[in-house]
Structure 1
Amino acid sequence: MSEPIEEVTTQLGQRVSTLQRQEQELQQKIAQLQATNAKMQQEQLALTQSMGKLISSALDQLEQRKQTLQIEVEKLERRRDRIQKEMRTSFAGVSQELAIRVQGFKDYLVGSLQDLVATTEQLELLPETPPQPPLREIAPPPQAPQPSRVDRGDSGDNSQSAPTPQFSEQGFQEQTKRIRQLLDQYRNSPDYYGTPWQLRRTFEPIHAKRVSNWFFTQGGRGALRTMGSRLQNILIASATISVLRNLYGNRLRTLVLANTPERLGEWRRGLQDCLGIDRRDFGPEQGIVLFEEPEVLSQKAERLVKEGRLPLIIIDDMEDKISLSLLQFPLWLAFAPDPQTLQQPIERF
């Protein structure tokens, strides 16, 4: 019995020893794993810190690049604005203004030369004849002058007195009614392809109000505040001319006063565009005559009145003086400068 007990004890001791060795191995593995875990945690912490520093550095670099780009963009924008300003003031603007002035002068000069040629062609050059003996004088038969383009259709009798418009007087209901009908027609039913001397442009209520005020309140003699644009002023003048042409026909003569050839060129082009007329309607003996000097215009208007014509005087808004000689005529329309931009008051002389 003693041998089995010793054998069992020996076996138990061996198993305990085996278990102890396994325990030690397990503890060593646990220690190794713990060391590996600690090392991995350290590496992860270091990696996290490195990533944080890298991201922070990248963000700082991006922010710096953003600020640098913003500064460059602002510099480029300021440079662009400066270049545009320099172009407007030193090259482009001046060139455009010069081109407009040259074109206006060209139109005015070409029109004036054409008018001069047309007038010269109408002159009758009589050959010199030797003196006849004073036996009997035979008066040559009177020759009727060749009518111009706008005179065709007139009665040919220029000895009749010029009409005296009285738009604001009572007793002219038919004339007043006709004027209002024409203004309503221009405003509500514009005809962009109508006959010459008929308004061909869009006519707004503000334009109709100005023209109506000139006819019925000012009686066809007065100043209207400028519309701020010469083209708008020309539109109002064109509507006035169209109405008066409808009332008085070819007896109406329009005399435009502007102090520079460029502005006269703008008036010529604007009236042609608004009324559907051409260069043949401009000239000393035609429907519209352009003037730079008020004295010459006044002389022309006096001759027209003596011939039984009805002169309509239109004065550009850049005229700072109005001659008193122009105010004696029955029809005159002056465009007054805007008081906010007026540097000095209009003078009369």
Structure 2
Amino acid sequence: MPEDSKFQVSIDQSKRIIHELALLKEEEQGSKKEIKTELEQLKAQKAQLEEEIQALEAEKQERLNRETAEIKDVIAQMVQQGSQDLQDKRQELQQAVEQLERRRDRAQEEMRTTFAGVSQELAVRLQGFKDYLVGSLQDLAVAAEQLDLPSLEATPTESNPPPAETPPEKQAISPQFTQQEWQEEANQIRTLLDQYRTFPDYYGPPWQLRRTFEPIHADRARDWFFSLAGRGAIPTMGSRLQNILVASSIISVLRELYIEQLRVLVLADSPEKLGEWRRGLQDCLGISRSDFGPTRGVILFESPESLVQRADRIIENEDLPLIIIDQSENEVDLSLLQFPLWLAFAKDFQETDNYTF
């Protein structure tokens, strides 16, 4: 039975192999099921993650849209508010411009209707006072000639020739801008005023006008030179700085004519106003603080008495004083009228009768 044994052994081996194959197949099937299960789980997780991603993206987009809308609303409100503010400011500026234009028109109308007559009246009054002074001096001269002084006649004529010659020397720098013999000087004055108005030189030499010179300023200066002959009051420009500009143009012209012989004496009733005059003249004429002082080109005074004393000494030195009276001075001291050049700024030129001499 050896063959039967071998056959039995091979059968057993075959069964064992078949059994092992069956086990392997079962394991393989189990593995496939597990893999399939895991794959299904992964697919489910993937689908869940995709849904979450879509939800997050939707939430993100919604938030961006909401924030963008809020930002747009804020920007729109800011633009609207800024536009409203600009519109309000524009209306305010338009109202201010309209008010200034109305004031300008009223001022021009008043100047056209009242300034010419009042200026002529003042010129007539000043000319009458001048004629009175001249007549009084002539009467005094005639009375002096009629005095009988035989014992003193020879000696004074020998000892006083220099004083007899001094009046012509002082008269040489006494401006009379309206007389015919001063026609060349008058033409030079007009040329300088036109030059300041049409070709301003903001970097010119000291004592030359350096600021914008409008026609109204030129008219004030021209009236003072030729209508008032350099002696009288003109209407205020409305502010001290504008008055200083007009005075600076006159100073610049006279400085061109008389060079260092011109001495400017400014009268105001407070140190603050004199300070404004000093700063304004420095700015308009390009001069420095060293040009101000008792022995300099410009001297500042608070009282007419001290100004008169200084002006007398200037004339004794054969120089030419120009007296400038601030608009705050309501009265012109009578002693100031003896000097060849004086300029006053009247506060209310329509009430010239209240401007006391």
Instruction: Provide the TM-score with structure 2 as the length reference.
Output: 0.51
Equivalent pair of 1:235/1:274 in contact (CA under 8 Å): yes
How far apart, CA to CA, are the structure 2 residues paired with 1:344 and 1:228? Answer: 19
1:211 aligns with 2:221: yes
How far apart, CA to CA, are the structure 2 residues paired with 1:170 and 1:216? Answer: 12
How far apart, CA to CA, are the structure 2 residues paired with 1:343 and 1:224? Answer: 10
1:329 aligns with 2:336: no
SS state at 1:321 partner:
coil
Equivalent pair of 2:232/2:344 in contact (CA under 8 Å): yes
TM-aligned CA deviation for residue 171 of structure 1: 1.7
How far apart, CA to CA, are the structure 1 residues paired with 2:184 and 2:290? Answer: 33
Q: Percent identity?
A: 63
- Counting only pairs closer than 5 Å after superposition, residues 41-56 of structure 1 correspond to structure 2 as none
Amino acid paired to 1:225? P
Q: State the partner residue of 2:240.
A: 230
Structure 2 unaligned blocks of 5 or more: 1-167
How far apart, CA to CA, are the structure 2 residues paired with 1:171 and 1:248? Answer: 17
Q: State the partner residue of 2:201.
A: 191
Which segments of structure 1 move beyond 6 Å, counting only runs of 4 or more?
none
- Counting only pairs closer than 5 Å after superposition, residues 278-293 of structure 1 correspond to structure 2 as 278-293=288-303
How far apart, CA to CA, are the structure 2 residues paired with 1:217 and 1:347? Answer: 20
Q: State the partner residue of 1:25.
A: none
Equivalent pair of 1:254/1:287 in contact (CA under 8 Å): yes
Amino acid paired to 1:249? I
TM-aligned CA deviation for residue 343 of structure 1: 12
Amino acid paired to 1:171? E
Equivalent pair of 1:211/1:239 in contact (CA under 8 Å): yes
Equivalent pair of 1:161/1:307 in contact (CA under 8 Å): no
Q: Deviations over 1:120-161 (max 9, x none)?
A: xxxxxxxxxxxxxxxxxxxxxxxxxxxxxxxxxxxxxxx953
How far apart, CA to CA, are the structure 1 residues paired with 2:316 and 2:342? Answer: 17
Equivalent residue in structure 2 for 1:182, among 186, 189, 192 = 192
Equivalent residue in structure 1 for 2:316, among 299, 306, 330 = 306
TM-aligned CA deviation for residue 173 of structure 1: 1.6
How far apart, CA to CA, are the structure 2 residues paired with 1:167 and 1:279? Answer: 31
Instruction: Provide the TM-score with structure 1 as the length reference.
Output: 0.52
CA distance change for structure 1 residues 237 and 221 in 2, over 3 Å: closer, same or farther? same
SS state at 2:170 partner:
coil
Q: Deviations over 1:171-226 (max 9, x none)?
A: 21210111011001000000000000000000000000110010011100010010
Equivalent pair of 2:207/2:286 in contact (CA under 8 Å): yes
TM-aligned CA deviation for residue 320 of structure 1: 1.4
How far apart, CA to CA, are the structure 2 residues paired with 1:205 and 1:304? Answer: 33
How far apart, CA to CA, are the structure 2 residues paired with 1:268 and 1:346? Answer: 25
Q: Deviations over 1:84-116 (max 9, x none)?
A: xxxxxxxxxxxxxxxxxxxxxxxxxxxxxxxxx
1:346 aligns with 2:350: no
Structure 1 unaligned blocks of 5 or more: 1-158
Q: Which of the pair has the greater relative contact order for Cα pairs under 8 Å at 6+ separation? A: 1
Amino acid paired to 2:356? E
1:268 aligns with 2:278: yes
Equivalent pair of 2:234/2:349 in contact (CA under 8 Å): no
Equivalent pair of 1:160/1:307 in contact (CA under 8 Å): no
Amino acid paired to 2:222? S
Name the one with the larger helix percent: 2
How far apart, CA to CA, are the structure 1 residues paired with 2:353 and 2:278? Answer: 27
TM-aligned CA deviation for residue 346 of structure 1: 2.6
Amino acid paired to 2:344? A
- Counting only pairs closer than 5 Å after superposition, residues 128-143 of structure 1 correspond to structure 2 as none
CA distance change for structure 1 residues 344 and 171 in 2, over 3 Å: closer, same or farther? closer
CA distance change for structure 1 residues 323 and 343 in 2, over 3 Å: closer, same or farther? closer
1:161 aligns with 2:170: yes
SS state at 1:317 partner:
coil
TM-aligned CA deviation for residue 339 of structure 1: 4.8
Q: State the partner residue of 2:113.
A: none
Amino acid paired to 2:170? S
1:200 aligns with 2:198: no
